[in-house]
A = this chain, B = another copy of it.
């Protein structure tokens, strides 16, 4: 997924908050939802965007779908940003 899409994904505060939650531990959608005043479909939409940009991964565990941070993409992103923010 492109750097641009990733930046756009990160530009939304809801999505950043989801990532911060997942930083602590993997969570099912309903558990994530408890932290937001938003319908499940809306949340699902954000999760989908995060998934499209590989910032998170998901896997089914019984009835639940567990979301996890994808740390490798974070590392990749950190590199690109470091380069971008380099001094003149």
- Measuring CB to CB, which residues of chain A are less than 8 angstroms from any residue of chain B? 4, 7-8, 10-11, 13, 16, 19-20, 23-25, 69, 71, 74, 77-78, 81-82, 84-88
Contact = CB atoms under 8 A, between A and B. Distances in A.
Given A10-B11, A11-B8, A71 B87 contact: yes
Contacts of A74: 85
Contacts of A77: 85
> How many copies make up the complex?
2
B24 A13 contact: no
A46 to B, nearest CB: 15
A81 to B, nearest CB: 6
19 contacts: A4-B13, A7-B7, A7-B10, A7-B16, A8-B11, A11-B11, A16-B84, A19-B84, A20-B84, A23-B86, A23-B88, A24-B88, A71-B87, A74-B85, A77-B85, A78-B81, A78-B82, A78-B85, A81-B81
